[in-house]
Chain A
């Protein structure tokens, strides 16, 4: 697995790693979200992201061999293709969490549209299935962004998060998809003007990724090769 994967498989791993790690980060809100209903809703979103990751890993495993679990948990931290956006630990700051949520979902919409157009029918079919759930994620993210933007305090916190995370959001995508994201963000979040910045590119990992990897893989590493 240390040799570079072919481009199509590498793309699947990028998608899978982003969804797995975002799902993991979102699940850090389980039990401590702002109120009960949101706790259930956000935990459920975290769970569906991890479900999407599993489906992408299964398609990647078809090419690379092994299983989805092995791809998800048995690689070294530096082998993950995740974007720094999803690796950031934002728990306890709901404004930044919603900023990431809405930026990620808007970027992911562009990506899923590409997946649906894949020449590989299995990949395209998975894109169709995922889109049904992602549509709900987008609705949830947009309603929260709008809600926070209604009050002065909420808007201040949300916009601070959007400004900080915008270079990371750009790094989630490549090529002209970045221009589409800029246009989509300007349209959906009219209270925020995306600044011209250098994207935080995929490839480098943020400092807090190491601790998350430790936690994610701890139980599996405690019993290598174990049957679960």
Chain B
């Protein structure tokens, strides 16, 4: 028996979000149980049913910032003032 992770899409076009997991011996059973648990009350538009062993999990995935390189981060710049000046120069109202 394998573990399957189920992702639900609540409405068309929305991102899939993890709903939970279930045990099933094969794809057909995983399909049937996922429909039963996550589709019975019209609560999902679509489901992704993924064998857990197909999921590549990484822990502590960041590369530790050893040196101070704040300048690389886009949130380090404020363009608000620059944008205002540019708009005034161009004669368009500032938003």
Contacts and interface: CB of A to CB of B under 8 A. Distances in A.
Interface stretch (A100-108, A115-123, A139-147, A173-181): A139-147
B68 to A, nearest CB: 52
Contact of A146 (B1, B28, B33, B37): B28
A38 B37 CA distance: 11
Contacts of B22: 37
A139 B26 CA distance: 14
B1 A143 contact: no
Contacts of A139: 32
From DSSP, what is the main secondary structure of chain A's interface residues? Answer: helix
A98 to B, nearest CB: 13
> Interface size for chain B: under 10, 10 to 19, 20 to 34, or 35 or more residues?
10 to 19
A40 interface: yes
A36 B33 CA distance: 10
Interface in B22-48: 22-26, 28-29, 32-33, 35-37, 40
Contacts, number: 31
Nearest to A133: B40
22 contacts: A35-B1, A35-B23, A36-B23, A37-B22, A37-B23, A37-B33, A37-B37, A38-B33, A40-B33, A40-B37, A41-B32, A41-B33, A44-B36, A136-B32, A136-B35, A136-B36, A143-B28, A143-B29, A143-B32, A146-B28, A147-B25, A147-B28
Given A37-B29, A146-B28, 15 more contacts: A35-B1, A37-B24, A37-B37, A38-B33, A40-B36, A40-B37, A41-B32, A41-B33, A41-B36, A136-B32, A136-B36, A140-B32, A143-B29, A147-B25, A147-B29
